[in-house]
Amino acid sequence: MSLKLKFIRIIKNISPSNFLKSNFKRIISTIESSLIERIYAMNIYHNFFKRSISRSPQFNDGDAFENISRSWSHLLSLTRDNKSLGESPCCYVEFGVYIGTSINWFSNNLKHSESTLLGLDTFKGLPDKWETADQPKHSYNAQNDVPVLDDNRVSFTKGMFHETSEYWINWLKEESQKNKNIIIHIDSDLFGSALYALLNVAQCCDNFYVIFDELLGDECRALYAFTKAIPTKISVISSGARSYNKITREITQRSVCFLINTNLKTYPENFII
């Protein structure tokens, strides 16, 4: 049989439905489950987020603040016992420090002398590839150097979050018993890092503010997984401007601040209000 005839026979047998029937499982199994989870979490988050920002007066026409530091400033302007967070004793923990840009901002803007700030990082860069943004392992490598800040309330702990957990979990437990406002800043990019941070912080306190540097797929997936592990109510406080990520082709909110409450007996109907 000529090559041409053979080819025609093969093509005739490959009808779209035959092809799909015999290859469905194979196609599905090539899609990484993390991708589906990321898309699912982003979808849920965006629907709730849109609804809640459209109800909040601080968001101009349902949009966010124009930059990330305006979002942080809004968080620190919230009042408790007639005092803003910025003027009250706070305990700030940053997961992902790199060269210290964001922890430096918080050191300048958390004014109370009893506020304490702890930065956690390997200082050798991401411990794994950041799939969503296509960043290789070891991106954000600070060459093992901790930032130097002129503020003795700030300290740093070097290592993977799980390696240094005994220290920082005890520290955070002690700080939260002092009735300080707890602010957690998650800027560690990876799903595992963000989920590990959230689950362990929840062992130390049941009411805390959390800032996500950006809610791209991985952190969003971690936030969603967290709410499925522990009954959680989340209130949106503020957000920096939306930015478009060229690699993932996703529009994401930068520096989203939430109040997280895990002091619940059961899962709420909507985890974000």
Please state, in angstroms and rounded to a whole number, the distance separating the CA atoms of residues 97 and 188.
8
Residue placing its CB nearer to ligand SAM in the complex, 168 or 224? 168
User: What does DSSP say about strands 250-261 and 242-245: parallel, antiparallel, or unpaired?
Assistant: antiparallel
Least spacing, CB of residue 87 vs ligand SAM, in Å: 23
Q: Is residue 122 within the footprint of ligand SAM (CB under 6 A)?
A: yes
Distance CA(179)–CA(172), nearest Å, equals 11
Site membership for ligand SAM, residue 215 (CB under 6 A):
no
- To which H or E segment does residue 91 belong? strand 90-95
Q: Is residue 102 a contact residue for ligand SAM (CB under 6 A)?
A: yes
Instruction: Between 175 and 189, name the residue whose CB sits nearer to ligand SAM.
Output: 189
- Residue 195 as a binder of ligand SAM (CB under 6 A): the answer is no
Pairing of the two strands 116-121 and 90-95? parallel
188 contributes a contact to ligand SAM by CB under 6 A: yes
Shortest Å, Cβ 189 to ligand SAM: 5
Should residue 118 be labelled a site residue for ligand SAM when binding is judged by CB under 6 A?
no
Q: Is 52 in the site for ligand SAM (CB under 6 A)?
A: no
| Residue 161 in the binding site for ligand SAM (CB under 6 A) | yes
How far, in Å, CA of 211 to CA of 195, rounded?
14
Distance, CA of 53 to CA of 239 (rounded, Å): 9
Contact flag: residue 126 with ligand SAM (CB under 6 A)? yes
Distance (Å) of CA 111 to CA 86, 91, 191, 195? 6, 12, 32, 29
Dist CA 97 CA 95 (whole Å): 6
- Please select the residue that binds ligand SAM; options are 18, 77, 101, 155, rule is CB under 6 A: 101
Q: Minimum Å distance from CB 187 to ligand SAM?
A: 4
How far is it, in rounded angstroms, from Cα 232 to Cα 128?
Answer: 28
Q: Which is nearer to ligand SAM, 196 or 271 (CB)?
A: 196
Closest among 175, 154, 156, 146 to 107, alpha carbons compared:
154
Nearer to ligand SAM (CB atom), residue 115 or residue 165: 165
Tell me if 187 contacts ligand SAM by CB under 6 A: yes
Least distance to ligand SAM, CB of residue 42, Å: 19
* CB closer to ligand SAM, 39 vs 99: 99
> Does the protein bind ligand SAM through residue 140 (CB under 6 A)?
yes
64, 65, 96, 107: residue in contact with ligand SAM (rule CB under 6 A): 96
**Dihedral sign, Cα of residue 79, residue 239, residue 161, residue 262:** positive
**Distance between CA 1 and CA 7 in Å, rounded?**
10
CA atoms within 13 A on the CB side of 36: 6
In the complex, the residues that contact ligand SAM under the rule CB under 6 A are 96-99, 101-102, 121-122, 125-127, 140, 160-161, 187-190, 193
